[in-house]
């Protein structure tokens, strides 16, 4: 009887089948998400982000890590223990580097406005919608891209002063803090607020429009206004320049943005379309975040698998006759690499 060999073969077959089932399940999840994405994208306003270069770096790294794992599989079949340990350690290190580039890329996306709940259009924080600012008796305006003072974009020095002023406004306008008051160091001498073209006065650590102290609604609008200025967000909840860092499509057609107006096929958006755009949430971000969550969950398992097979190789658990763990870990990591390349290509060419 060759019972041990039979058990080993059965064990290998069962684990491989379980891995195949897991891979098939992941494929179905992403197929469903990408299909829903395509359908939603063609039915309404849709934000398209420019993806950071770190994603290309991470793609190169995961391809190289798969090559290293392939060579490690060849090495263990020849019972080259030291080479196998070195290659598996290198593969794990490259897996960590892949995660680093991924984190850097997604952090940039979050900084640009990739969030779950935000609308596309920055209604309450839009410059000039409710509040505007005067600097040294001259009004600061907004052209859709830059804050303008005396006919030119504000200088870094003015921006730094403005950031300090906005941070002070945030503290006083925070409606979650019932006892919050305004401590404005340069109000009246450097900066003056206007609310719907009415000068906002400052006395006794409070702000007034006319004779009335600003109420909770005006405070909330002021908070969003200051927050938007600090985050460099003007008419949109996304940061950056329209057409360079992000853009909007409407049912597959590009929406152009000039002089704070929106156009499709060279014509101004109709009132109904503009109303829809103003009230629409950024579903593109929501879908992309779902991709991230699912992707990261599977990536964590892949990284753990690489770590486990590396440690086991150090402990001498593998040989030319027994390398199932390396084989399974390699298959799963290869799949993750293919899955990432698919997701990256999908977001680049479809998104």
Work out whether the CA dihedral 290, 244, 259, 227 comes out positive or negative: positive
Residues of the chain under the 70 pLDDT cut: 1-8, 351
Number of Cβ within a 10 Å radius of residue 93:
15
Looking at residue 8, what is its pLDDT?
67
Q: Calculate the alpha carbon distances from 183 to 146, 157, 168, 204 in Å.
A: 27, 21, 6, 9
Residue with tokens 């057609």: 253
204-210: Cβ within 8 A, 24+ apart: 205/172, 205/181, 206/181, 206/182, 207/172, 207/182
Pick the closest to residue 253 from 277, 285, 236 (CA basis).
Answer: 277
Antiparallel, parallel or unpaired: β 261-264 and 267-268: antiparallel
Output the six-digit token pair for 42.
Answer: 């063609």
Looking at residue 49, what is its pLDDT?
87
3-state DSSP call for residue 111?
A: helix
Q: What is the pLDDT of residues 128-162, one digit of tens each?
A: 999 999 999 999 999 998 999 999 999 999 999 99
Architecture in CATH of 26-118+282-349? Up-down Bundle (1.20)
Vertex 191: Cα angle to 189 and 194 (nearest 5): 125
Looking at residue 114, what is its pLDDT?
83
Looking at residue 37, what is its pLDDT?
87
Looking at residue 7, what is its pLDDT?
64
Q: Do 280 and 274 meet the contact criterion of CB atoms below 8 Å apart?
A: no
Residue with tokens 């002070």: 168
Number of Cβ within a 10 Å radius of residue 4:
8
Complete edge-to-edge strand list for the sheet that includes strand 147-149: 152-153, 147-149, 138-142, 131-135, 191-195, 198-203, 206-209, 212-213
Q: From CA 178, how far away is CA 190, in angstroms rounded?
A: 28
Give ranges for CATH 1.20.120.80 in the chain: 26-118+282-349
Q: From CA 23, how far away is CA 28, in angstroms rounded?
A: 9
């Amino acid at each position: 009887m060759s019972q041990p060999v039979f058990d080993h073969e059965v064990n290998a077959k069962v684990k491989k089948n379980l891995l195949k089932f897991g891979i098939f399940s992941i494929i179905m999840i992403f197929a469903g998400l990408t299909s829903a994405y395509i359908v939603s994208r063609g039915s309404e306003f849709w934000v398209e982000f420019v993806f950071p270069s770190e994603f290309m770096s991470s793609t190169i790294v995961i391809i190289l890590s798969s090559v290293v794992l392939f060579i490690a599989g060849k090495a263990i079949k020849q019972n080259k223990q030291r080479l196998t340990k070195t290659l598996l350690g290198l593969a794990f290190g490259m897996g960590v580097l892949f995660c680093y580039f991924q984190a850097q890329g997604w952090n940039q996306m979050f900084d640009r406005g990739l969030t779950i709940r935000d609308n596309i259009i920055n209604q309450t924080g839009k410059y000039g919608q409710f509040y505007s600012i005067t600097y040294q008796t001259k009004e600061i305006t907004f052209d859709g891209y830059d804050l303008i003072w005396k006919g030119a974009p504000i200088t870094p020095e003015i921006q730094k002063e403005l950031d300090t002023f906005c941070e002070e406004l945030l503290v006083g306008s925070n409606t979650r803090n019932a006892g919050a008051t305004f401590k404005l160091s340069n109000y009246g001498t450097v900066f003056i607020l206007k609310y719907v073209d009415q000068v906002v006065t400052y006395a006794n650590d409070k702000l007034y429009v006319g004779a009335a102290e600003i109420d909770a609604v005006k405070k909330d609008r002021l908070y969003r206004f200051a927050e938007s200025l600090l985050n460099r967000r003007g008419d949109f909840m996304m940061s950056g320049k329209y057409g360079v860092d992000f853009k909007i499509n409407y049912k597959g057609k590009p929406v152009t943005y000039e002089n704070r107006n929106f156009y499709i096929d060279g014509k101004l958006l109709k009132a109904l379309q503009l109303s829809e755009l103003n009230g629409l949430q950024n579903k593109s971000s929501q879908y992309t975040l779902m991709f991230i969550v699912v992707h990261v969950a599977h990536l964590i398992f892949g990284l753990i698998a690489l770590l486990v097979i590396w440690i086991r190789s150090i402990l001498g658990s593998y040989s030319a006759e027994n390398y199932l763990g390396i084989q399974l870990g390699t298959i799963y990591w290869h799949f993750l690499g293919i899955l990432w390349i698919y997701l990256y290509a999908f977001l680049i060419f479809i998104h």
